[in-house]
Amino acid sequence: MTKSQFPIPSTGSGQANPNDSISKEYISSIWILDFELDLTFDIWILDFNLVLPYPISYATLYSTMAKTIEKTIPPKDELQNITTPPKKGQTIEGKIIGTGHFAVYVDLGPVGVGVIYGKEYYAAKDIIKRLQPEATIKAKVVEVDNEDGYLELSLTDAQREVSWETLKEIEQISQTVMVDIAGANKGGLLAEMEGIKGFLPLSQLSIKNYPRVKDGDSNEILKHLQKLVGQQLEVKIIDVSPQENKLIFSEKAVASKAINELLKQYQVGDIVEGKITGLADFGAFIKFPLLEKGEAEEPEQEKVQAEGLIHISELDWQLIDDVSDVIKVGDVVKAKVTEISQDGRVSLSLKALKEDPWKDIDNKYKKGDIIEGQVVKINQLGAFIEIEPKIRGLVHLSEFNHQDKKKEELQKGKKYKFEIIALDADTHRMGLRLKSD
């Protein structure tokens, strides 16, 4: 309160002196004017029922009244809030005070009573079923003053806002949550949280659930993902955007902290023992360290293993057309760590632990030599020829006169004479040409 004006009664000789005494009758009911408050009225009549000694001066009375008013009148900003009606689209909070025929009534305090009914009631019926009597809710104003004098409210619109806020908080604190998998497509899994539909991309699946499909066949990937529908998965939220209506989950992120701690024990050059868990056209996946029999029987959440990739070029020194020719799922192998990236991806090599058969190849063969070799595989690249164990050359498709000519000229399992037309020991490549008789 910045200024108060109290009327001082006039006397026959003019306005009374502030130090003069005043009567009980004047104190019992006083008009208080011009408080400089944004009120809808200009004059308050207050009965303070003051217990004061008499006679009392005007100055003492006004001082006592001012202190009393400061205690009884709300601050200016609160008065403004109370008297300012809510606007359409504004989210407000209130308490459920009752239900009617397909309607919910909400006490909004000084601004009145709100109602959720009609299409807004049907849209929110699943939410309403879960609400307790006298529950405090947030709702959005859709009509400020309907024909019955209520504020019409939408619970679903406000609930979506609250849901996005909740999801954002979960993402910020990196909280782990459980979601029900409701569907699958070729790109990943569909799930819902807080009434918001989300997506778990294929790349964010855990080692356990990532589909190991040969040749990356999308139909086979979908079949694998469909097996997860109906299951609960432990995930973290990694992206939330209400503006884009985007909610992205990650199962891989849940285990990343524990796996990162495990990987701190390893460095490039270390030898690890593990089990082959999957094959792809580009290589083999290995899970390590290898668990002992007792460890393998422990609950899943107590096991901490990392998984790395042995690229097809690191499986063996020989040319490999099919990963399954050299390794199988379930094989226990030792491999050398060749890279550990900052995001936890591990690359390993099997061939690094094997003697390089190409080491002295320049001393045995040279360009232009005529050698004998056996056809071990024919594919779209051409014909693979084994010169000696672990040493293979390639008769490229371009060396044949026609796409199908290679099948006529070469047969798998048979030996032929070839001319070496290219030799590179560093890249382990030998180019051959069929020697005509």
Per-residue model confidence as pLDDT tens digits over 113-151: 999 988 888 888 888 888 888 888 888 898 887 878 888
Q: What is the bridge-based pairing of β-strands 151-154 and 113-117? A: parallel
Among the ranges given (59-63, 396-400, 431-435), the one the predictor scored with the smallest mean pLDDT: 59-63
Confidence at residue 367, expressed as pLDDT on a 0 to 100 scale: 93
Average pLDDT of the chain to the nearest whole number: 79
* C-alpha to C-alpha distance for 302 and 289, rounded to whole angstroms: 14
Q: For residue 283, count other CB atoms closer than 10 A to its CB.
A: 21
Q: Tell me how far apart the alpha carbons of residues 69 and 247 are, in angstroms, rounded to a whole number.
A: 53
Q: How many residues does the chain have?
A: 437
* Confidence at residue 270, expressed as pLDDT on a 0 to 100 scale: 96
Strand 113-117 relative to strand 103-107, pairing: antiparallel
Residues 149/143, Cβ–Cβ less than 8 Å: no
CB distance 90 to 154 below 8 Å:
no
Q: 196 or 65: whose pLDDT is higher?
A: 196
pLDDT per position as a tens digit, 195-234: 899 999 998 998 778 887 766 678 888 999 999 999 999 9
> According to the model, what pLDDT value does residue 275 have?
94
Residue 104 CA to residue 314 CA, distance in Å, equals: 67
Which listed CATH number (2.40.50.140, 3.90.420.10, 2.40.10.220, 3.40.630.30) goes with 91-161? Answer: 2.40.50.140
Helix (H), strand (E) at residue 219: helix 218-226
Distance CA 245, CA 228 (A): 24
Considering the domain delimited by 265-353, tell me its CATH architecture: Beta Barrel (2.40)
Higher pLDDT, residue 93 or 207 = 93
Domain residue limits, the chain: 10-79, 91-161, 175-243, 265-353, 361-434
Dist. CA 312–CA 280, nearest whole Å: 9
* 130 vs 187 pLDDT, higher one: 187
Q: What is the pLDDT of residues 340-381, one digit of tens each?
A: 987 778 999 999 999 888 888 989 999 999 999 999 888 888
Residue 160's identity, in one-letter code, is R
What's the pLDDT at 45?
Answer: 34
Q: Which of 81-90, 102-111, 205-214, 425-434 has the lowest mean pLDDT?
A: 81-90
Residue 345 is predicted with a pLDDT of 85
- Burial category of 2 from C-beta neighbours within 10 Å (exposed 0-12, middle 13-18, buried 19 and up): exposed
**Which residue(s) pair with 183 in the sheet?**
190
Q: Can you give the pLDDT at residue 32?
A: 39
Return the bridge partners of 36, or none.
Answer: none
Cβ contacts of 146 within 8 Å, gap of 6 or more: 115, 152
107/196 Cα distance (integer angstroms): 28
Burial class (CB in 10 A: 0-12, 13-18, 19+), 37: middle
Third-level CATH fold of 175-243: OB fold (Dihydrolipoamide Acetyltransferase, E2P) (2.40.50)
User: Is it true that 91-161 and 361-434 share their CATH fold?
Assistant: yes
d(CA 310, CA 369): 34
Of 37-41, 62-66, 298-302, 410-414, the least confident: 37-41
Q: Which pLDDT band, with edges at 50, 70 and 90, does 12 fall under?
A: very low
Q: What CA–CA distances, in Å, run from 323 to 176, 284, 311? A: 37, 7, 9
The proportion of the chain whose per-residue pLDDT surpasses 70, expressed as a percent, equals 76
Q: How confident is the model at residue 37 (pLDDT cuts 50, 70, 90)?
A: very low
Task: Give dist(CA 349, CA 337) in Å, integer.
Answer: 7
Distance of CA 343 to the CA centre of its chain: 17
pLDDT range class, residue 334, cuts 50, 70, 90: very high
Which CATH superfamily, name and number, covers 361-434?
Answer: Nucleic acid-binding proteins (2.40.50.140)
pLDDT value, residue 228: 95
Structure tokens at 54: 């008499």
Whole-angstrom Cα Rg for the chain: 41
- Which range, 6-20, 100-114, 188-202, 245-259, has the best average confidence (pLDDT)? 188-202
Give the mean pLDDT of 159-175: 89
